[in-house]
């Protein structure tokens, strides 16, 4: 019974593996290894017949360890683990040898690739012999949810979650809901009223008894793990110096919808923002439009209005990325200015016109038809704004090296609108630290997979949506908010969560309380028990990254399924194939 | 193994060692009387004039316990290890050198040729005009003179013969020796063969009384004389590399009590395969910088990293020796 009987399955992956690896030779070589009870080749191990073969062999041949030599474990580890489970074998008595991505796909010499495939399999065979049966844990899921941020994404997520019957704590740092959209008049490209969009959302939120609204508040602490977080919410009393009131809430999941802030235009000094009174930002123009008139500081209707794109965006000096919404917003201004001041001339100074969204090209075409002067400038050659002479009959002159005509064009302007881009909000670092999520170099939150997991993060139970992830327009933010809500609802509906059995644990018999590991965990999973003077890992928070395992100088921390002995056996197998094969 | 009240036969031998282990046995002071009351000392070259031939003449298993200190550096060490294994019921690797290679094991950063070149030719105090080197056999008028063969690598006792127990320390703490000895002579149940005895299971930090916090971010490494030690704060938190977190307790944390950092002579805790590698990866996690160049600069401040992390354990480590 205690004999180790390993079944090894060598996949051809159609021809993906077989064209570069001699799978027959692999089979006959691996068969000679100690503890290997049987080896099979098959065209597609991941197919149903492939999995069935493993299940049948486990039952018929008393196999108690399985190695599949195929693709990356990222691709099919779950598939084969499931096969082991159906055969009644513990799913962790399994190891994958990656002979596709790390072998057949990257080599050009069939003999060497075959040797490498054999070495990889020997490593896996030696490792799997030391694998232990592990049991995953189940913990209860708290159905309550924390939504941070009361902009369009946060409002939408909160509503979606509450309308499904869950308690939601919605935390907004300002004294009102709506976020940046509440500063906007119309929306592009259909010119719907932003106010109408928001009013509908806000009214529903206010009326929903399941949503606890925390205005003027911020989350000051978040502890725990998926299914069981505890958040501390600090409410500012409005008057500085006054103590804030704290509320502590238990939740199971968090949706981070903290949005963006606009680029500070004064950082680009030669646009003269802050010095030239009639150079304004897009948000200042929105304010004028909402107040019903677009006028210069002097109260005059501007005859010439110039709109400059990509202020702070698409530029290595400030932000290399595109802020995505400004092009269409600029076109929206063309329409709004023209309808308020029909006699105004509007020029639009841009790098590229990004009109990628639904209805955007059409909107661009319609904007061209209202006699707008479009001027294209080179990314590295920004327009220059001068104060005009009295004879010029305008307040400012803008010099543009216009690409399409190849000429230096000087255009008049009484009002210049700078299309300021989006950047990560001021508190994004603090939010990232609180919720244990990562940020990219620009401060945007990082999703756990850019294509397949756009709203999940590497911390289970923390989801991100809207413009805190990257610049986004309203439909994309709303779609992400609903996606995050759907992800949370699918977790809540299960009631319980299974925690992977692969995590690190502290052997209390050995831990001496040196505290070396305490500040290393990127997931804040390590706590120090003062009374016992021991470090302790909260297994549900642990992502099995292994940082603490490597750092524990007394080997008191053990990475389950990644023990030193297992890894050394694997390395040994990789490099000592002669010894392993006894030749 | 032995009936209470009857005396056991005890032997002490040294391989590649400094003699400190033998002195640690003498350090039992007046308790030596308890030891000789319970044991016949049948072989102990540093203290008694008993010849190798006398040992060869003993029946197999005649010695109840041999405390073998020192590493295996040459053919004489190996020959005596093999002989004493045959003659002893219990063979104890006594002290860091026989346990892990110890200080002599640091010679594994060189090979035999490099060591001979240094010792017999290049060292500042050597005058050797005829370039004479020791050879295993040398003919003189009176016959053939023999010297032990000097090996390329230092090995551990357990690499040469089967070892029953390991007693760590440079040297082992005398109190631990008395405890172990008394346990053996009293017929107490002994731990499973292959165990480390006379030491704790946890690291030095378990006993160390210095204040330990989670604040162990290091921006500069110091040698002990470069800091003004307050006598209270964890050495690592002061930037001094203390091997304590990677080292078994049992010595009574004497170095630390004496305001010196732990140097690791008691060896790793039970689950550690390579204490030097363990401590290096622990230290790497403490460097307080995210800039690769700055990290390199900070790590460059570690004086003699190989000697710091592998001071007592090189031959027992995964790397074993430098490739020559």
DSSP letter for each residue of A104-158: GGG---HHHHHHHHHHHHHHHHHHHTT------EEEEPP--EEEE--SHHHHHHH
Alpha-carbon span A505 to A542, nearest angstrom: 9
B215:A519 CB<8 A: yes
The answer to whether domain A264-422 has CATH 3.30.1540.10 is no
Q: Which residues from B are below 8 Å from A519, CB to CB?
A: 214-217
Q: Do A554 and B245 touch (CB under 8 A)?
A: yes
Residues in chain B within 8 Å Cβ distance of A551:
281-282, 284-285
Residue B96 included in any domain: yes
Positions of E strands within chain B:
8-14, 39-43, 63-69, 72-74, 88-94, 137-140, 143-146, 150-155, 165-167
Shared-domain flag, residues B309 and B229: yes
Q: Which of B207, B245, B280 to mutate to test the interface with A (most CBs of A within 10 A)?
A: B245
Residues 266-295 of A with CB under 8 A from B: none
Whether B285 sits inside 8 A of A553 (CB atoms) is no
Q: What is the pLDDT along chain B (324 residues), one digit of tens a residue?
A: 444 458 999 999 999 999 999 999 989 888 888 888 999 999 999 999 999 999 999 999 999 999 999 999 999 999 999 999 999 999 999 999 999 999 999 999 999 999 999 999 999 999 999 999 999 999 999 999 999 999 999 999 999 999 999 999 999 999 999 999 999 988 889 999 999 999 999 999 999 999 988 888 999 999 999 999 999 999 999 999 999 999 999 999 999 999 999 999 999 999 898 999 999 999 998 999 989 999 999 999 898 999 999 999 999 998 899 886
pLDDT of residue A10: 98
**B275 vs A: CB within 8 A:** yes
Judge whether B322 lies within some domain. Answer: no
Contact assignment for B282 to A513 by CB distance below 8 Å: no
B205 lies within 8 A of chain A by CB: yes
The pLDDT assigned to A225 comes to 84
| Size (chain A), residues | 583
**Cα separation values, A299 from A280, A288, A339, A416, Å:** 14, 11, 18, 15
The reported pLDDT for the residue numbered B323 is 84
B85 belongs to a structural domain: yes
Q: Which residues of B fall within a CB distance of 8 Å from A554?
A: 202-203, 245-246, 268-269, 271-272, 278
| B125 touching chain A per CB within 8 A | no
Does residue B132 sit in the same domain as residue B208? no
Q: Helix, strand or coil for residue A33?
A: coil
B223 touching chain A per CB within 8 A? no
Enter the CATH code of domain A500-560.
3.30.70.20
Residue B87's SS3 state is helix
If asked whether residues B48 and B167 sit together in one domain, one would say: yes
Q: What is the pLDDT of residues A227-285, one digit of tens each?
A: 999 999 999 876 666 667 899 999 999 999 999 999 999 999 889 999 999 999 999 99
B214–A518 C-beta distance less than 8 A = yes
Q: CA of B16 to nearest chain A CA: how many angstroms apart?
A: 28
Residue A514: its chain B contacts at CB < 8 A? 203, 205, 212, 244-245
Q: Do B278 and A553 touch (CB under 8 A)?
A: yes
Minimum-distance CB partner of B245 among A550, A553, A565: A553
Q: What is the mean pLDDT of chain A?
A: 93
Residue B285 sits at the chain A interface (C-beta within 8 Å): yes
On whether both B161 and B301 belong to a single domain, the answer is: no
Rounded to the nearest angstrom, the minimum Cα separation between B109 and chain A is: 23
Judge if B56 and B76 occupy the same domain: yes
Q: Which residue of A has its CA nearest to B318?
A: A568
The structure tokens listed for A322 are 């595109």
Q: Name the residue among B216, B281, B284 with its Cβ closest to that of A515.
A: B216
CB-CB neighbors (< 8 A) of A565 in chain B: 273
| Contact state of A520 with B213 under an 8 Å Cβ cutoff | no
Among positive and negative, which fits the CA dihedral A226, A425, A174, A310? negative
Query: Do residues A556 and A510 touch, judged by C-beta distance below 8 A?
Result: yes
* A551 vs B273, B285, B318: nearest CB: B285
Whether B157 and B240 map to the same domain: the answer is no
- Is there a contact between A96 and A131 (Cβ–Cβ < 8 Å)? no
Q: Do A550 and B281 touch (CB under 8 A)?
A: yes
Q: List residues bridging with A187 in a β-sheet.
A: A192
B215, B216, B271: residue with CB nearest A555: B271
Which chain A positions have a beta carbon within 8 Å of B271's beta carbon? 507, 510, 554-556, 558, 564
- Domain A6-134 in CATH 3.40.50? The answer is yes
Does B247 share its domain with B263? yes
Rounded to a whole number of angstroms, the distance from the CA of A67 to the nearest CA of chain B is 26
Residue of B215, B236, B270 lying closest to A510 (CB–CB): B270
Contacts of B275 in chain A (CB under 8 A): 553
Chain B contact for A507 (CB, 8 A cutoff): yes
Exposed/middle/buried for residue A384 (C-beta within 10 Å: 0-12, 13-18, 19+) = middle
Per-residue tokens: B192? 């499973």
Q: Say whether both B64 and B166 belong to one domain.
A: yes
In degrees and rounded to multiples of 5, residue B7 shows phi and psi of -75, 145
- Residue A1's pLDDT is what? 46
Could you read off the pLDDT of A187-236 as tens digits, one per residue?
999 999 999 999 999 999 999 999 999 999 999 999 888 899 999 999 98
Candidates A439, A512, A563, partner chain B, best to mutate (most B CBs within 10 A): A512
What whole-number percentage of chain A has pLDDT above 90? 85
User: Between chains, do A554 and B249 touch, taking CB under 8 Å as contact?
Assistant: no
Instruction: Give the residue numbers spanning the domain of B137.
Output: 113-151
Same domain assignment for residues B214 and B293: yes
Of A507, A513, A558, the CB nearest to B206: A513
- Would you call A399 helix, strand, or coil by DSSP? strand
Number of domains in chain B: 3
Q: Which of B215, B244, B278 sits opposite A555 (nearest CB)?
A: B278
User: A264-422 and A500-560 share one CATH topology?
Assistant: no
Q: Of the candidates A513, A517, A554, which has its C-beta nearest B212's C-beta?
A: A513
Query: Is A141:A540 a contact under the CB 8 Å cutoff?
Result: no
CA distance A160 to A129: 49
Distance CA B165, CA B90 (A): 8
Joined tokens for residue A21: 């690896």
Query: Which sequence spans correspond to the domains of chain A?
Result: 6-134, 145-259+425-497, 264-422, 500-560
Residue A312 confidence class, pLDDT cut points 50, 70, 90: very high
Closest CA to A38 of A80, A8, A83, A69: A8
For residues A412-416, average pLDDT: 96
Query: Quick check: B216 and A519 CB within 8 A?
Result: yes
User: Is ipTM beyond 0.90?
Assistant: no
Contact at CB, B269 and A556, closer than 8 angstroms: yes
Task: Quote the minimal CA–CA distance from B272 to chain A in Å.
Answer: 5
List CB contacts (< 8 A) between B269 and chain A: 510, 554-556
- Name the nearest CA neighbour of A435 among A221, A150, A170, A147: A221
pTM of the model: 0.68
pLDDT of residue B2: 45
In B, which residues are within 8 Å of A512 by CB distance? Answer: 202-206, 245, 249
Among A510, A516, A550, beta carbon nearest to B286: A516
Could you tell me the CA-to-CA distances from A455 to A134, A485, A493, B281 in Å, in that order?
30, 10, 18, 34
Identify the pLDDT of residue A371. Answer: 83
Interface check for A566 against chain B (CB to CB < 8 A): the answer is: no
Other CB atoms within 10 A of residue A342 CB: 8
Question: How many Cβ atoms are within 10 Å of B165's Cβ, its own excluded?
Answer: 23
Cβ-count burial A528-546 (b if 16+ within 10 Å, e if not): beeeeebbebbbbbbbbbe
B135 and B231 belong to one structural domain: no
Looking at domain A145-259+425-497, which CATH architecture does it have? 3-Layer(bba) Sandwich (3.50)
B230/B291 same-domain check: yes
In a domain, B2, yes or no: no
- Among A509, A513, A565, select the one facing B201 at the smallest CB separation: A509
Would you say residue B323 lies in a domain? no
Residue B126 in any domain: the answer is yes
Sheet holding A94-98, edge to edge: A36-42, A6-11, A65-70, A94-98
Q: What is the 3-state secondary structure (H, E, C) of A273-310?
A: ECCECCEEEHHHHHHHHHHCCCCCCCCCCCCEEEEEEE
- CB contacts of B215 in chain A (<8 Å) are 519
Q: What is the mean pLDDT of residues A59-86?
A: 94
Residue B1, in any domain of the structure: no
Measure B278 CA to nearest chain A CA, in Å: 5
What does the alpha-carbon distance between residue A177 and residue A154 come to, in Å, rounded to a whole number?
9
pLDDT cut 70: percent of chain A above it: 97
Smallest CA–CA distance from B217 into chain A, residue: A519
Confidence of residue A497 (pLDDT cuts 50, 70, 90): confident
Contacts of A518 in chain B (CB under 8 A): 214
Across residues A552-576, what is the average pLDDT?
92
Q: Does A554 touch chain B (CB under 8 A)?
A: yes
Cα(A223)–Cα(A524) distance, integer angstroms: 9
For residue B191, being part of any structural domain is answered with no
Instruction: Say if the Cβ atoms of B318 and A568 lie within 8 Å.
Output: yes
B257 and B177 in a common domain: no
């Amino acid at each position: 019974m205690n004999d180790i009987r390993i079944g090894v399955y060598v996949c051809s992956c159609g021809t993906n593996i077989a064209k570069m690896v001699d799978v027959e030779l692999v089979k006959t070589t691996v068969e000679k290894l100690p503890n290997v009870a049987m080896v099979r080749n098959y065209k597609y191990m991941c197919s149903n017949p492939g999995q069935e073969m493993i299940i049948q062999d486990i039952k018929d041949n008393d196999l108690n360890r399985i190695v599949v030599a195929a693709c990356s474990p990222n691709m099919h580890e779950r598939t084969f683990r499931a096969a082991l489970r159906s055969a009644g074998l513990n799913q962790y008595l399994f190891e994958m040898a990656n002979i596709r991505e790390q072998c057949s796909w990257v080599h050009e010499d069939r003999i060497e690739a075959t040797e490498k495939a054999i070495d990889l399999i020997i490593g896996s065979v030696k490792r799997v012999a030391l694998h232990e049966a592990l049991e995953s844990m189940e913990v209860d899921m708290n159905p309550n949810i924390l939504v941070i941020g009361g902009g369009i994404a946060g409002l939408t997520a909160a509503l979606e979650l509450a309308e499904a019957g869950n308690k939601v704590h919605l935390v907004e740092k300002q004294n009102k809901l709506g976020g940046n959209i509440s500063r906007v008049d119309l929306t592009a490209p259909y010119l719907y009223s932003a106010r109408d969009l928001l009013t509908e959302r806000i009214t529903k939120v206010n009326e929903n008894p399941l949503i606890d609204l925390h205005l003027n508040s911020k989350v000051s602490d978040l502890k725990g793990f998926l299914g069981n977080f505890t958040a501390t919410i600090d409410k500012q009393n409005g008057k500085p110096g006054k103590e804030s009131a704290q509320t502590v809430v238990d939740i199971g999941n968090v949706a981070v919808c903290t949005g963006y802030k606009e680029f500070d235009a004064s950082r680009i000094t030669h646009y003269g923002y802050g010095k030239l009174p009639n150079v304004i930002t897009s948000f200042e123009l929105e304010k004028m439009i909402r107040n019903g008139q677009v006028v210069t500081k002097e109260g005059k209707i501007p005859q010439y209005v110039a709109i400059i794109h990509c202020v702070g965006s698409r530029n290595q000096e400030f932000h290399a990325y595109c802020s995505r919404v400004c092009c269409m917003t600029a076109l929206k201004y063309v329409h709004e200015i023209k309808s308020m001041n029909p006699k105004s001339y509007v020029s639009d100074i841009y790098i590229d016109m990004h009109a990628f969204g639904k209805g955007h090209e059409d909107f661009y075409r319609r904007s061209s038809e209202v006699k707008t002067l479009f001027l294209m400038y080179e990314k590295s050659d920004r327009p220059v704004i001068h104060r005009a002479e009295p004879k010029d009959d305008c307040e400012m002159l803008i010099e543009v090296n216009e690409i399409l005509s190849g000429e230096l064009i000087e255009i008049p302007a009484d009002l210049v609108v700078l299309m300021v881009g989006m950047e990560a909000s001021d508190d994004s670092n603090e939010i990232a630290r609180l919720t244990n999520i990562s940020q990219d170099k620009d401060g945007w939150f990082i999703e756990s997979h850019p294509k397949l997991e756009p709203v999940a993060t590497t911390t289970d139970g923390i989801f991100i949506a809207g413009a805190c992830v990257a610049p986004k327009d309203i439909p994309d933010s709303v779609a992400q908010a609903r996606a995050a809500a759907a992800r949370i609802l699918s977790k809540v509906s299960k009631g319980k969560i299974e925690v992977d059995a692969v995590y690190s644990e502290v052997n209390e018999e050995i831990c001496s309380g040196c505290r070396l590991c305490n500040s290393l965990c990127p997931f804040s999973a390590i706590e120090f028990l003062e009374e016992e003077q021991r470090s302790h890992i909260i297994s549900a928070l642990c992502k099995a990254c292994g940082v603490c395992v490597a750092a524990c100088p007394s080997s008191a921390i053990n990475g389950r399924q990644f023990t030193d002995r297992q890894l050394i056996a694997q390395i040994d197998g990789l490099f000592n194939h002669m010894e392993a094969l006894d030749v | 193994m032995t009936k209470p009240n009857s005396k056991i036969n005890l032997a002490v031998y040294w391989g590649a060692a400094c003699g400190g282990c033998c002195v640690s046995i003498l350090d039992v002071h007046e308790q030596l009387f308890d030891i000789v009351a319970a044991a016949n000392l049948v072989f102990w070259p540093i203290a008694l004039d008993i010849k190798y031939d006398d040992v060869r003449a003993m029946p197999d298993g005649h010695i109840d316990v041999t405390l073998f200190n020192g590493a295996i550096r040459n053919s004489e060490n190996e020959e005596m290890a093999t002989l004493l294994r045959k003659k002893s019921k219990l063979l104890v690797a006594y002290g860091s050198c026989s346990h892990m290679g110890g200080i002599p094991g640091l010679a594994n950063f060189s090979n035999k040729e490099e060591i001979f070149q240094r010792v017999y030719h290049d060292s500042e105090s050597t005058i050797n005009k005829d370039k004479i080197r020791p050879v295993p056999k040398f003919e003189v008028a009176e016959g053939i003179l023999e010297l032990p063969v000097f090996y390329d690598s230092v090995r551990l006792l357990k690499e040469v013969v089967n070892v029953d127990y390991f007693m760590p320390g440079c040297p082992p703490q005398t109190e631990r020796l008395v405890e172990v000895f008394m346990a053996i002579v009293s017929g107490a149940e002994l731990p499973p063969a292959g165990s480390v005895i006379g030491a704790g299971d946890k690291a030095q930090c378990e006993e160390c009384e210095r204040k330990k916090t989670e604040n162990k971010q290091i921006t500069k490494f110091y040698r002990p004389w470069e800091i003004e030690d307050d006598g209270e704060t964890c050495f690592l938190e002061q930037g001094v590399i203390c091997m304590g977190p990677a080292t078994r307790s049992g010595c009574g944390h004497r170095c630390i009590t004496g305001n010196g950092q732990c140097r690791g002579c008691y060896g790793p805790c039970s689950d550690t395969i390579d204490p030097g590698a363990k401590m290096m990866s622990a230290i790497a996690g403490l460097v307080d910088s995210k800039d690769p160049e700055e990290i390199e600069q900070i790590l460059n401040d570690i004086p003699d990293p190989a000697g710091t992390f592998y001071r007592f354990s090189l031959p027992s480590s995964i790397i074993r020796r430098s490739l020559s």
